[in-house]
Amino acid sequence: MSKYIFFILIYQIFITISLIKISKTKGLIDIPNNRKIHTSPIPYTGGLTLSLTYIFIIYLTEIEYVFLNLILAYAFIISLTGFIDDRYNVRPGTKLLLQSVPIFFLIDQNLYLTNLGSYSFLGVLELGAMDKIFTFLCCLLLINAFNYNDGIDGLLPSISIIILLSFVIFLIFYGSIEYKNFLLVTFPLTIFLFFNFGLIKKFKIFLGDSGSNLLGFIISFISIFLFIEMKIHPAIIIWPLAYTVYEFLSITCFRILENKGTFKPGRDHLHYELIKILKINQYISLSIILLINIILIIIGFYIFHKLGPDISLIFFILFFLIYLVFKYSIRKLSS
């Protein structure tokens, strides 16, 4: 893997700087307003730079898994659907329809769940005739959950890195040595952070919907791939996704109860609420959320390893209820 890193690095830097320049010329920029933190126009084409980098990785490297190649290849399509949303601000229904297309493509390639694993008390949770529909809805949910968590610099790429590295740890811990390909997926996100944080002067870039859709899509199907191909149990795979899913579901629940638009932009996300309540900057808010994410993963790993998949699943639901109460308290303080 190490022999490819230099070429991937050079390619990604070149394609990112090129797209930043093109975006500024063509007006593909995120304009500041009273809902946003940034104060100057920033290109929103970060997802396209990542998807083009993943296409380059497919052709440059020797990824041995057909499904992993397909995931990265179809990720380019999902990034384009997000770009269309960024550019034309499409309606929620149209957005969901655009997101559905690449999901259907991959499910049609037989990358879908037929069951949710084996449990001591429940047996094998077979999905039966609902297998493809269930897979489709889960992927759609996770893609939009990722979109909800793209609000401050570095948050979503950092969460994605933590998730992917957690998957690598699971592969190593449960006896699989085939984890290097997953590090190749993680590496471009690390490089992207330098541009997302604006560490390279005049070359700051946002993920945009093209990036949040891309990462949600990739991690959704990698999660499925880990179960059906690498035999990692779903009851542990869900824990790295816990914060992202909890945040999405809690916001959606409260918006429905308050008769607010489910897919409309807002400042009811935890990263914004922490900034308001604690009077901290976005980087401290980022650190707190990443810490919450890591703690959930550690707890989930411990519960699964010591108590088994049945208890792990129960605690995953229990922790969501705890997060719901926590989120309600935060909303009260920030209102």
pLDDT at 90 over 80: yes
pLDDT at 94 over 80: yes
% of the chain surpassing 70 pLDDT: 95
> Which band of pLDDT confidence, cut at 50, 70 and 90, is reported for residue 2?
low
- The answer to whether the CB of 300 falls within 8 A of the CB of 312 is yes
pLDDT recorded at residue 181 = 79
pLDDT at 65 over 90: no
* 275-293 pLDDT per residue, tens: 999 999 999 999 999 999 9
- Beta strand residue intervals within 120-228, DSSP E: 123-126
Its pTM stands at: 0.94
Counting the structural domains of the chain, the total is 1
Q: What is the mean pLDDT of residues 49-68?
A: 88
Q: Which residue has the higher pLDDT, 334 or 33?
A: 334
User: 294 lies in which domain range?
Assistant: 2-334
pLDDT recorded at residue 232 = 93
Q: What is the mean pLDDT of residues 43-64?
A: 90
pLDDT recorded at residue 178 = 67
Strand, helix or coil for residue 255: helix
pLDDT at 56 over 70: yes
Helices and strands of the chain, counted as H and E runs: 13, 4
pLDDT at 104 over 90: yes
Cα separation, 136 vs 52, whole angstroms: 25
Lowest mean pLDDT among 10-14, 150-154, 231-235, 310-314: 150-154
pLDDT recorded at residue 39 = 57
CA 78 to chain centre: 13
Q: What is the mean pLDDT of residues 259-276?
A: 83
CA-CA-CA-CA torsion sign (294, 296, 298, 301): negative
Strand, helix or coil for residue 116: strand
- The answer to whether the CB of 161 falls within 8 A of the CB of 218 is no
* 244-255 pLDDT per residue, tens: 999 999 999 999
* 208-228 pLDDT per residue, tens: 999 999 999 999 999 999 999
